[in-house]
Amino acid sequence: MINVDDLLDYTSFTVDREAHIVLDPAHCAACSHRYCTTTCPARCYAWSEKDRKMSFVHDGCLECGTCYAVCDSHAFARWRYPRGGFGVSYRMT
């Protein structure tokens, strides 16, 4: 059975300097669950309890849409798929 880490070995990325997801982290300090940190398969979200701050990197985004689905705080200044020619490429052979 293939797991997420194995699946990541079959992906490549053409990173767009213009982020397709832009988070407004001001929402995250007040978030009661921070489901994005536990459900994002690419671990793009990291919460620092010490700094009370969310960090987000779009580079390894798998474009699954999970963070958009689990965030009930409208925390995104932008959420869309990458521009043409950018983003993840899945290769299963």
The conformational region for residue 65 under phi > 0 = left, psi -120 to 50 = alpha, else beta, is left
Q: How far is the CB of 92 from ligand SF4 (least distance, A)?
A: 18
Q: Residues 74-93 vs ligand SF4: string with x where CB under 6 A? A: -x------------------
Q: Choose among 69, 17, 11: nearest CA to 40.
A: 69
Contact present, 63 and 57 (Cβ < 8 Å) = no
Does 62 engage in binding with ligand SF4 (CB under 6 A)?
Answer: yes
Residues that bind ligand SF4 (CB under 6 A): 21, 23, 27-28, 31, 34-36, 40-42, 44, 54, 61-67, 70-71, 73, 75
